[in-house]
Amino acid sequence: MTRLRNFFISYNRADERWAEWIAWTVADAGYTHYFQKWDFRPGGNFVLDMQKAAAESERTLLVLTTNYLQSLYTQPEWAAAFARDPTGEKRLIVPVRVERCEPAGMLKSIVYCDLVDLGGEDARTTLLAALQPSGKPAAPPPFPGVSSTVAAFPGPAASAPALVDPVRLAAQELRSIFATSGTTFAAQARLRDDLSARIHKRLRVPEHHEYEELFDLYFHQLQPDELRLHRTIRAYTESVLHEYNTRALQLLEREPRLADFLPSVPALKQHLILWLNKFDRLFVRTASMCLLYVGVEERVGFPSQIENELEHYLSTGAPAPKIEVPQQRDEYMEERRGRSESYESFRRKQLARLHALEQRIAELTAAEVLWPADEFRREQLATTEEAYARLIGPWVAPGLLHPDEEVWLPPLETLSREVDAAIRPDSSPEVLEAGRELRLAVFAENSTPHFKLAGALPYLVALKSHEQELGLGSAVSDVWRGLSTLFRSRIYD
């Protein structure tokens, strides 16, 4: 039977010096371990060596740095240990932080050993203490009660702790947040460029689009491998970028005095508020989005000069000078040259998107007839129709549906009541949410018939795929078909 070693040391190649110091320190203390640089020899199979090291080690020791947290290849190294001890009761994962970085996701819940800013001997003592089963010290702590009658040493008190400036600590934390989110953004950008190149090459996209617009416009034509790439890019936005933007905004609100030293704090705060608002109101509800940028159309971009301001303040302790950044020109400044030209450009892009969605709906509808059991195509059709509904609903201006809106509202109200009656307590969350949102849209107080019809469109799509199990026949499909045709006719008039 193979004897397990105490630790598998997991690290990113860029942090090998730290990993080697840790490996030497724990080995010198009598622990056994697997360490890639020492144990993986030329001629061996790297993948099999990694598998053996992870399987034949009692615990996994992580060398926590920004490089480690952003690497895709280190995640499987600790994921297996996490699966065996998700509550941390056995302490199978021992994170050791050696530079300022903030773990996210599942790693965030695991207490790490912190070696940041420690000298060599203190770092060794802290590391070895973290590996012990208990934090109980070897020597008794000093008595906290009445002081001894022995005469006190008349000299200065030893090792008086230095006062900590909360503004400086906040600035250091903000720099750490920027480092992690910046690394994530760079990794996401590489995947973004890859997906963009694939779309342009395969579909022969004839014109330039912003990344957000490109992926949204052609989302419903992605192949499975491209869709997986899209989901990976979206996961970066949903997890690390969202979490770190949230933390940055909370930090600015917790320590408002940062603005006294960093002139760009107000611009950064405005940028973060807009980013998080767009995330909550648009990104989470739009499956075709994988990137979330603010700044071009909204003109509230990330103030990149704040990183130089941080370095100035942390190195000198003095407020950073305010630097006027010239406003960059972009495609949206064409409105200054005439709103008519800008509107026509916008309408051409919207029509191109509308045509692409209609073409994709026709293809998927035909495929559903040929392959009714193909779950992937069914999901693609539902997502495409929902995007179509969210496009045509707001497009048609109020008043253009009159008098047809008065004709369609009563059957829509009747359908909403039938859906409520057909929904069971054990219905799927999607059906429950769609039924509720349909009711809120149709019976909204202080709303016009036009906005009630437009607001109902996306939820009809969600209910359409469940109408048979709800016993509604084709009632939802009939209303969806009629309303979508009505809106479409007004767009092309």
Task: Please provide the DSSP assignment of 133-158 as one string.
Answer: S----SSPPPP-SSPPSSPPP-SPPT
Shared-domain flag, residues 177 and 322: yes
Distances (CA, A) of 122 to 32, 97, 101, 368: 22, 14, 20, 66
What integer pLDDT is reported at residue 415 of this predicted model? 92
Regarding whether 304 and 183 lie in a shared domain, the answer is yes
- Can you tell me whether residue 304 is helix, strand or coil? coil
The sign of the torsion formed by the CA atoms of 302, 305, 306, 311 equals positive
Half-sphere exposure of 176 (CA within 13 A, CB side): 20
Are residue 126 and residue 170 in the same domain, yes or no?
no
* Structural domain contains residue 155: no
Would you state the pLDDT for residue 30?
Answer: 86
* CA dist., res. 73 & res. 61, Å (int): 15
Strand segments, DSSP code E, in 76-140 are 93-97, 113-114
Q: Do 203 and 116 fall into the same domain?
A: no
Asked if the structure places residue 244 within a domain, the reply is yes
For 415-469, what is each residue's pLDDT tens digit?
Answer: 999 999 999 888 888 889 889 989 988 888 777 888 888 888 888 988 888 888 8
Model pLDDT for residues 301-360, shown as the tens digit of each residue: 788 888 888 888 888 888 888 765 544 444 333 333 444 444 456 566 667 777 777 877
Indicate if 188 and 308 belong to the same structural domain.
yes
- H-run or E-run covering 116: none
* Closest-CA residue to 199 (of 181, 211, 187, 185): 211
Query: Does residue 367 fall inside a structural domain?
Result: no
My answer on whether 74 and 173 are in the same domain is no
Q: Per the domain annotation, does 267 fall within a domain?
A: yes
- Determine how β-strand 33-34 pairs with β-strand 5-10: parallel
Domain boundary among 335, 351, 376: 335
Would you say residue 440 lies in a domain?
yes
Do residues 180 and 320 share a domain?
yes
Residues whose CB is less than 8 angstroms from the CB of residue 439 and which lie 6 or more positions away in sequence, other chains included: 416, 419, 420
Task: Out of 131, 149, 181, pick the residue that ends a domain.
Answer: 131
Judgement on whether residues 121 and 221 belong to the same structural domain of the protein? no
Domain total of the chain: 3
Based on the fold, state whether residues 289 and 409 are members of the same structural domain.
Answer: no
62: which strand partners? Answer: 10, 95
The structure's pTM equals 0.44
List the pLDDT tens digit at each of the 493 positions of the chain: 567 888 999 888 888 889 999 999 888 888 888 898 888 878 777 777 888 888 888 889 999 888 888 776 677 777 777 777 777 788 888 999 998 888 877 777 788 899 888 888 888 888 888 888 776 666 677 766 555 444 443 444 444 444 568 888 889 889 888 887 887 788 888 888 889 888 888 888 766 677 887 888 888 888 888 988 898 898 888 888 888 899 899 999 999 999 999 999 998 988 898 888 888 878 888 888 888 887 655 456 788 888 888 888 888 888 888 765 544 444 333 333 444 444 456 566 667 777 777 877 887 777 655 565 667 777 777 878 887 887 787 777 666 777 787 888 899 999 999 999 999 888 888 889 889 989 988 888 777 888 888 888 888 988 888 888 889 888 998 998 888 888 888 776 5
CATH code of the domain containing 100:
3.40.50.10140
102-114 tens-digit pLDDT: 887 777 778 889 9
Q: Give the range of the structural domain holding residue 416, as residue numbers without chain letter.
A: 385-492
Distance CA 111, CA 62 (A): 12
Residue 203 lies in a domain: yes
Note whether 127 and 27 are same-domain residues.
yes
| Amino acid 333: pLDDT | 38
Q: Average per-residue pLDDT in the chain?
A: 79
Q: Is 298 in the same domain as 174?
A: yes
- Is residue 44 one of the residues assigned to a domain? yes
Q: Domain check: are 73 and 125 in the same one?
A: yes
Single residue among 131, 152, 184 that ends a domain in this structure: 131
161 lies in some domain? no
CA distances to 69, 201, 338 from 187, rounded to whole Å, are 12, 22, 38
User: Is residue 403 reached through a cis peptide bond, with omega within 30 degrees of 0 on the bond before it?
Assistant: yes
